[in-house]
Amino acid sequence: MPLARGCTTAMAAAESTLDEPLLVPVKDEEKCGGDVSNMEAQLLLHHDDAGASSSRTCLNLSNVISGVGVLSVPYAVAQGGWLSLALFALVGAVCYYTGELVARCMRAGGDAARSYPDIGQLAFGRRGRKAIGAVMYAEVYLVAISFLIVEGDNLDKLLPGTAVGLPGGGCVLRGKQLFTVVAAVSILPTTWLRDLSVLAYVSAVGLVASAALTASLVWAGVAEHGFHARDGNVFSLAGLPTSLSLYFVCFSGHGVFPTVYTSMRNKKHFSKVLLASSVLCSLNYALTAVLGYMIYGEDVKSLVTLNLPSGKVYTRIAILTTLITPLAKYALVIQPITTGIEEKLAPAGLGGLAWAAISTTVLASTVVAACTVPFFGYLMSFIGSSLNVTVAVLFPCLSYLKIYSPGGGVRRTEVAVIVGILVFGVCVAVLGTYTSLHQIASTF
């Protein structure tokens, strides 16, 4: 494994070597033939005997991909029209491909690459590490905040008018803020878990909850409204930036992919597991989007559960299952941040109590933010356009080209495809970010 050892040595070398292309040396190129598939064939020979199985990794990946985005896809269709579903399929395909690029970059780094910032350092040196790390941490942090917003909104709909007085008097928690705190307390024990093999069981619960939400929408359509798109439009150019941004939210878990990849026992199966997870989640997303829009049409809200009538059995089931999804996903999504803080404080690792203290602090900070930023639809649109696109499209493509292009490691056709994806990503990021920020500003 000369190439993997070379990459590992380069990651540990001085700053000057980090600025040089890591896969350029002639000896390595001659051994790999300058071909990406040959490089990966050698790199995949090395994998850990311990770690999560492919089935548990599939559960974790599916849980990463299938999240609260499922609540906003009917709204995304309402914004862009029925034809925007074609772009939904395109976004899904692009995000799967860039997820595969993330895996290839991880393989190029060998044992030295264990996180998304490690890919940045492998490709662009220390500046790349800082840039990619900053955007990735911001993305997963905002996604964690959105989970708590979902919890607060839906519990407030389920139990309206609830209030609790705090000890000492003078302070009363009520409505969304109360339920956001309650959700955080429920989530807290899961954030203390390090082992992704154990978190796979939590992920399985989250996937069952997503399926139950879709079933509840079917029930609502049959029992109450029927399936018809009232005032449905075929295509809306004005709403397209919002639709695309929300579609990227559905598929963008790339910041967590390296963590899941590192946890695998047999890493050469990552691509197959990623494909299976992406297809299953896409089917659930598409079904929920079509059902939600056919039932509520242009009246669909940014959280489709808010359209369901109060007091109905299927409403309670939908809200309860919706509440489970963030509970199951939060610990998995926030783990890169906790790990990053731990590495800063103690590169050799901290004990269990220190890990619990860090994860508790991160959770508390997201609770404060969730109580301050209550605009779920606009927040998700901003995350999708500015951060998800950057983490899921721009960084994987640029890092892959930087690592593998020297010496002709990437074919011309693949370069052309990647350039097209980059142009598409930049357009979505610019238009979506402008639209979402304008919507957020208009609410004040």
Which run of H or E residues covers position 407? Answer: none
Pairing between strand 163-165 and 172-174?
A: antiparallel
CA atoms within 13 A on the CB side of 435: 24
Q: Which of 375, 347, 434 lies closest to 142 in space, CA to CA? A: 375
Which run of H or E residues covers position 44? Answer: none
Which run of H or E residues covers position 58? Answer: helix 54-65
Coil/strand/helix, residue 287: helix
- The answer to whether 23 and 404 have CB atoms below 8 angstroms apart is yes
Q: What is the mean pLDDT of each run of 10 residues along the chain (444 residues)?
A: 41 37 37 44 45 87 82 91 94 96 93 89 93 88 84 83 75 84 90 76 77 86 73 84 86 88 91 94 93 88 83 84 79 88 76 86 90 65 75 95 87 95 92 78 68
- The answer to whether 371 and 156 have CB atoms below 8 angstroms apart is no
State the residue for tokens 């970059």.
Answer: 105
d(CA 211, CA 341): 34
What DSSP string runs through 259-284? HHHHHBSSGGGHHHHHHHHHHHHHHH
What's the CA angle centered on 386, arms 383 and 388, to 5 degrees?
60
CA atoms within 13 A on the CB side of 156: 19
What amino acid occupies position 104?
R
CATH number at residue 430: 1.20.1740.10
What amino acid occupies position 393?
V
pTM above 0.85, yes or no: no
| pLDDT, position 185 | 92
Which whole-number Å values give the CA distances from 104 to 34, 258, 344, 378, 434, in the listed order? 15, 10, 26, 33, 32
Backbone angles phi, psi at 233, to 5 degrees: -110, 155
Which whole-number Å values give the CA distances from 237 to 39, 89, 243, 248, in the listed order? 43, 18, 10, 17
Domain that holds residue 30: 2-442
Coil/strand/helix, residue 231: coil
Domain count, the chain: 1
d(CA 153, CA 308): 13
Per the structure block, which two tokens stand in for 262? Answer: 């590192």
5 phi-psi bin (left φ>0, alpha ψ -120 to 50, beta other): alpha
Where helices occur in 264-394 by DSSP H, the ranges are 270-296, 313-345, 352-372, 376-382, 389
d(CA 22, CA 18): 8
- The answer to whether 52 and 200 have CB atoms below 8 angstroms apart is yes
Residues 6+ apart with CB under 8 A from 407: 23, 24, 29, 34
| pLDDT, position 230 | 54
